Amino acid sequence: MELSLSSTDLAFRQEVRDFIRAKLPVDIQSKVEHRQRLVKEDYVRWQKILYKKGWIAPGWPLEHGGTGWTPLQRHLFEEELAAASAPRIMPFGLSMVAPVIMAFGSAVQKEHYLPRILSSENWWCQGYSEPGSGSDLASLATKAAPDGNDYIVTGQKTWTTLAQYADMIFCLVRTSTEGKPQEGISFLLIDMRSPGIEVHPIRTVDGGTEINDVFFDNVRVPQANRIGEENKGWTYAKYLLGHERTGIAAVGRSKQELRQLKAIARSEPVGEGSLAEDDIFAGKVADLEIEILALESLVLRIVADETAGRAPGPEASILKIRGTEIQQRLSELALEAIGYYANPYIAEAREAGWNEAPIGPEHATNIAPHYFNWRKASIYGGTNEIQKNIIAKMVLGL
Amino acid sequence: MNFSLNDEQMLFKESVENFVAKEFPSDQRRFLNESEEGFSRDHWACFAELGWLGLSIAEQNGGLGGSALDLALLMEGFGRGLAPSPYLASVVLGGEVVERAGSSEQKAAILPALVAGEMLLAFAYAEQGGRYDLARIQVRAEKKEQSWLLYGQKSVVFYAQSADKLIVSAAAAEGISLFLLDSGASGLKLRSYPTIDGLRAAEVILDGASAQPLGAPGEALPVIQSAVDRATIAVCAEALGIMNALIEMTLAYVAERKQFGTAIGKFQVLQHALVDMYMAQELSKSLTYRAAAALAAEDSGTSALAASAAKVQIGKAGRLIGQQAVQLHGGMGMTDEFAIGHYFKRLAMIETLFGDTDHHRRRFASLARE
């Protein structure tokens, strides 16, 4: 057990820090800091900068364009990105579909898709959930019927994040109704420009439209776009879930938000002092900070296990549960901290370039929309209740 | 940076757990709880032989010079088997205070004997009026010619009645000071009692008890604070072992207990309760090891913060796990016959030691305020 970084890792961290300071565009950084909406161009511009440096896919094997970093260095990299208010790297291509293509895709698929994912030339989205299939994902009904060398896909996907930007969607579709529901699912890569696809935005409680319904009306998809074997899609989807789990805790981002929360508390007056000096509020912040420390310690334990060659198992579901609980608690305390100024809602303030005087203190802008928006965190990626089912079954043997 | 145990530490942990499982089965524990001293001198001699009594004592004082993390692993093993002994009182607290404050003569007279299992110490630092504030001391120390006399009362001094020497914190004209008393000192009286979790403790009544100073008068507070921080992490580690045992016993129980025609572990509401317990345990373990490593790195700023963080985490996780373990055992969890209740009581009493959750939350908040 060693708490301090080696000189190699310290130098590595400094290199990452210097690079981000020099290359992260100020306008993008400011949007992240002020919780404004990022558009496709923002994400892609930053990702291409990382791509040029060779740092866009630290989790990938070297031969496909990874970095060859240790698990600890990957962790440090994520921490530095978060601390610098860099936008999150979109996971759908780089850390969701790419590992599946690498593990189960054909040579042609690898050669075609992986470089385009790496360079951010293609934006991906995920077609899993359906109106009738949320936690019970295996009940999905979007149908892919064989037709010559193609499939004809008909059905509806929903909650599809940033589908409006996507060039490609990876989908779970039903190719058989025989046997168990899990055994009739295939994994398809579908071009979003295919005739018959329509994307309809869904407005969420915070006023945003980052999620969508995606409709498929007799969409023709080459069978060559299927990953692996027909009806084996469930296996591939489960493999995807087991990938890149430590990042899911988002400890770096939570530490950054905690710093912001403390700054807000220091500037909110209570009595003769500030909210930061208020015993009850300070106690809540202390509890949260301790929870973040505990989660970070667990992440570092898992990182150490990975370094020793022990891949994280289903206990990584803890990271999703605790990580999102902490993020939600942060958003809750920020909302508490700003008091009355949670109320004003200026839709335009979420967009870059809004330069009117803020209503109330500047730090109050977009806190409430973030609170409402972030209720999604305990729902997406398998609800926290589903994560508990996984731990109960896979770890506790119940 | 590396947050895992090395091979040597894993082996040590396993050997402690095996020893404790063999030596402290529940009937033995029950027997010890009802015995005169509440622990076995034979076990104590065994601990000495195994080197455990010198684990955290420096090599030049006859110990093994182990780290705070080694100590944590030993305490975790004690917790898993709920092994009663004066280890915390005598070695963790007493040994640390003598090492940090004692003169070379005092160290030579005490530490080798402590390590050999021939001498027991107890540390009287708490008072009724001070709650968890180590500096709020009413016991007075007065200098009379060449000797010192102590007046006042100390609270809940663990294993005082078995100790050969008592270490007492007192207010002298110079400030907060530490004193060493022989168990037979005149003017020293003990009111001994069993604790609710089966240990032994005493109220220590000092009525002109003669004592010798341990370290320079007036300079004791940092020593007391550091011993208490070290002991805080030690009981956090003991709590880890207890939590682990409670979760294992509860998992076994819900797999075996049948109601409505099925094992109750098949019910989702109970499964989620167990997952919550398991998560609390994993987070507690990570943070406690981290706090132990911070202490071993001797960075007083981060180690005080980490000790308080661990105590808060353990306090909250301990309540959740202890209370839920009883709940999931139903009526059986309420019986004295089942081990569950015994583990639950020890876990609950750990929360009261060295500052409870609220105390450490407050301390953490003031240390972490930027």
Task: For chain B, give every domain's residue range.
Answer: 7-115, 121-219, 222-368
pLDDT given for residue B230 in this prediction: 95
For chains A and B, CB pairs below 8 A equal: 128
Instruction: Answer yes or no: pTM beyond 0.90.
Output: yes
Flag whether pLDDT at B370 surpasses 60: no
Tens-place pLDDT, residues B10-58: 999 999 999 999 999 988 888 998 999 999 999 999 999 999 999 999 9
Distance CA A227, CA A89 (A): 24
What would the two tokens of residue A248 be? 């899911």
pLDDT given for residue A311 in this prediction: 78
pLDDT given for residue A2 in this prediction: 87
- Number of domains chain A contains: 3
**Across the interface, do A300 and B69 touch by the CB < 8 Å criterion?**
no
Tens-place pLDDT, residues A88-120: 999 999 999 999 999 999 999 999 999 999 999
How many Cβ atoms sit within 10 Å of the Cβ of residue A70?
Answer: 16
Q: What is the CATH number of the domain that holds A130?
A: 2.40.110.10
pLDDT given for residue A3 in this prediction: 87
Residues of A within 8 A of B367 (CB-CB) are: none
pLDDT given for residue B95 in this prediction: 97
Flag whether pLDDT at B115 surpasses 70: yes
Shared domain for A250 and A298, answered yes or no, is yes
Q: Are A155 and A143 in contact (CB under 8 A)?
A: yes
- Domain contains A324: yes
Shared domain for A323 and A382, answered yes or no, is yes
Q: Which residue has the tokens 């167990």?
A: B274
Mean pLDDT over B52-78 rounds to 96
Residue type, A344: P
DSSP letter (8 states) at residue A65: T
- Domain contains A108: no
Measure the CA dihedral B77/B80/B82/B87, to 10°: 20
Closest Cα in chain B to A390: B275
pLDDT given for residue A247 in this prediction: 75
Residues of B within 8 A of A276 (CB-CB) are: 369
pLDDT given for residue A373 in this prediction: 95
Q: Which of B207, B138, B143 is nearest to B176 (CA)?
A: B138
Q: Is B367 on the interface with A (CB under 8 A)?
A: no
In DSSP notation, A88-138 reads PPPHIIIIIIHHHHHHH--HHHHHHHHHHHHTT-S-EEEE--BTTBSSSGG
Residues of A within 8 A of B255 (CB-CB) are: 397-398
- Domain contains A105: no
Shared domain for A197 and A273, answered yes or no, is no
Residues of A within 8 A of B268 (CB-CB) are: 389, 392
| Percentage of the residues of chain B whose pLDDT score is greater than 70 | 99
Residues of A within 8 A of B276 (CB-CB) are: 388
Mean pLDDT across chain B: 95
- Domain contains A131: yes
Distance CA A329, CA A321 (A): 12
Shared domain for A323 and A202, answered yes or no, is no
Put simply, the chain B residues between 266 and 295 with a CB less than 8 A from any chain A CB are: 266, 268, 271-272, 274-276, 278-279, 282-284, 286-287, 289-290, 292-294
CATH code: domain B7-115 is 1.10.540.10
Q: Which residue has the tokens 């994994």?
A: A187
- Domain contains A107: no
Q: Is B244 on the interface with A (CB under 8 A)?
A: no
Rounded to 5°, the CA angle A364-A366-A368 comes to: 85
The domain boundary, picked from A236, A266, A292, lies at A236
Distance CA B293, CA B274 (A): 29
Q: Are A188 and A144 in contact (CB under 8 A)?
A: yes
Which residue range is the domain that position A348 belongs to? 245-395
Shared domain for A142 and A254, answered yes or no, is no
- Domain contains A109: no
Shared domain for A129 and A254, answered yes or no, is no
The domain boundary, picked from A188, A219, A236, lies at A236
pLDDT given for residue A282 in this prediction: 96
pLDDT given for residue A313 in this prediction: 78
Shared domain for A231 and A254, answered yes or no, is no
- Domain contains A360: yes
pLDDT given for residue B109 in this prediction: 97
Residues of A within 8 A of B313 (CB-CB) are: 290-291, 294
- Number of alpha carbons in the 13 Å side-chain half-sphere of residue A329: 19
Choose the CATH number for B121-219 among 3.60.15.10, 2.40.110.10, 3.50.50.60, 2.40.70.10. 2.40.110.10
Regions of chain A short of the pLDDT cut 70: 242-246
Q: Report the gap between the CA of A283 and the closest CA in chain B (Å).
A: 6
How many Cβ atoms sit within 10 Å of the Cβ of residue A3?
Answer: 17
Shared domain for A181 and A151, answered yes or no, is yes
Q: Report the gap between the CA of B222 and the closest CA in chain A (Å).
A: 24
Shared domain for A276 and A316, answered yes or no, is yes
Shared domain for A382 and A264, answered yes or no, is yes
pLDDT given for residue A12 in this prediction: 98
Flag whether pLDDT at B319 surpasses 70: yes
Shared domain for A222 and A280, answered yes or no, is no
Q: Which residue has the tokens 């808060």?
A: B312
Shared domain for A188 and A328, answered yes or no, is no
How many Cβ atoms sit within 10 Å of the Cβ of residue A226?
Answer: 22
Tens-place pLDDT, residues A261-275: 999 999 999 999 999
Nearest to A3 among B1, B5, B309 (CB): B1
The domain boundary, picked from A195, A219, A236, lies at A236
The answer regarding whether domain B222-368 maps to CATH 1.20.140.10 reads yes
State the greatest distance between any 2 C-alpha atoms of chain A, in Å, as a whole number. 77
Q: Which residue has the tokens 């019927």?
A: A145
Helix axes B268-296, B68-80, angle to 10 degrees: 150
